[in-house]
Amino acid sequence: MMLLDIEGTVGSISFVHDVLFPIAYQRMESFIKNHRHEIKDIYQSLINELQSNKIANPTEDDVILLLRTWIQEDKKETRLKEIQGRIWHHAFSSNQVQSHLYPDAVSAMKRWKERGKRISIFSSGSVFAQKMYFKYTEYGDLSSYIDHYFDTTTGPKKETETYLKIASFVNCKPSEITFFSDVFDECFAAEKAGINAIQIFRDTEITENRFHPIKDFNGIA
């Protein structure tokens, strides 16, 4: 099974940071003010967090500021990722934006599916956001290529236990999984779980040789 990261691996980091993050930042206030009832459990947990940080009577504006701060910090916070996914859904479904995928990644996914390989995604973005990412792409709807999606509700991306959970969920031995990521620590955690880890260097020079480094998916059978 092929296990793929998104940012910096199958799609560009700049698309997420320069297109998707600003959309979430700009529309956060409107979303919270108009849709907080849809995420009442998450909203309450954010209020509780603010109170624990010695804000006596947190307001909507305090919640919005917290979420926007997390966006600026690129915090891998599950509650933020859930809200961002909901905001992005409208942008994707109304054709305001299409997700970026590298051509070699698209070709590889098609090649792997033709050969009967399963493909799963593991990203810090919510599963909901991941599904949209592959449904609304520059190449059309590619969601049929993806068998499973995993986010940080499974566990942190830099912890070995998370990859063992993924292997168990997909009913694979760790050695039957190949994980692709641009992040050394994620590859390290996957390798410790017994998974084959490959580090990809899209826009930088290859600086590590430990995880069979590649520049793109061309030639990956």
128-184 tens-digit pLDDT: 999 999 999 999 999 999 999 999 999 999 999 999 999 999 999 999 999 999 999
pTM of the model: 0.87
Rounded Cα distance, 32 and 34, in Å: 6
Residue 206, pLDDT score: 87
Residues 142 and 188 in one domain: yes
- 8 A C-beta contact, residue 137 and residue 11: no
Q: Does residue 154 lie within any of the structural domains?
A: yes
Residue 41, burial from CB neighbour count under 10 angstroms (0-12, 13-18, 19+): exposed
Q: What is the pLDDT of residue 208?
A: 78
Given pLDDT bands bounded at 50, 70 and 90, which one contains residue 46?
Answer: very high
| Residue 211 within a domain | no
Q: Would residue 208 count as lying in a domain?
A: no
- The model's confidence at residue 53, banded by pLDDT at 50, 70 and 90, is confident
Instruction: Determine contact, residues 4/183, Cβ cutoff 8 Å.
Output: no
**pLDDT at residue number 139:** 96
pLDDT reading at 127 higher than 90: yes
- Please say if the pLDDT value at position 203 is more than 90: no
Q: What is the DSSP string of 80-119?
A: HHHHHHHHHHHHHHTTS--B---HHHHHHHHHHHHTT--E
Domains contained in the chain, number:
2
Give pLDDT tens digits for 65-118: 999 999 999 998 999 999 999 999 999 999 999 999 999 999 999 999 999 999
Is there a single domain that holds both residue 85 and residue 124? Answer: no
Last residue of a domain, one of 93, 115, 146: 93
Q: Whole domain around residue 181: which residue ranges?
A: 2-12+98-199
The domain that holds 39 is classified in CATH as 1.10.720
Say if residue 219's pLDDT is above 90: no
Asked if pLDDT for residue 190 goes beyond 90, the answer is yes
Mean pLDDT lowest for which of 121-130, 162-171, 189-198?
Answer: 121-130
pLDDT for 205 beyond 90: no
Q: CATH number of the domain at 192, please.
A: 3.40.50.1000
Cβ(66)–Cβ(49) below 8 Å: yes
Q: How confident is the model at residue 122 (pLDDT cuts 50, 70, 90)?
A: very high
Q: 78-93 and 21-35 helices cross at what angle (nearest 10)?
A: 100
Residue 207 lies in a domain: no
Residue 221's pLDDT band, with cuts at 50, 70 and 90, is: confident
Q: Are residues 141 and 187 in the same domain?
A: yes
CB 167, CB 193: distance < 8 Å: yes
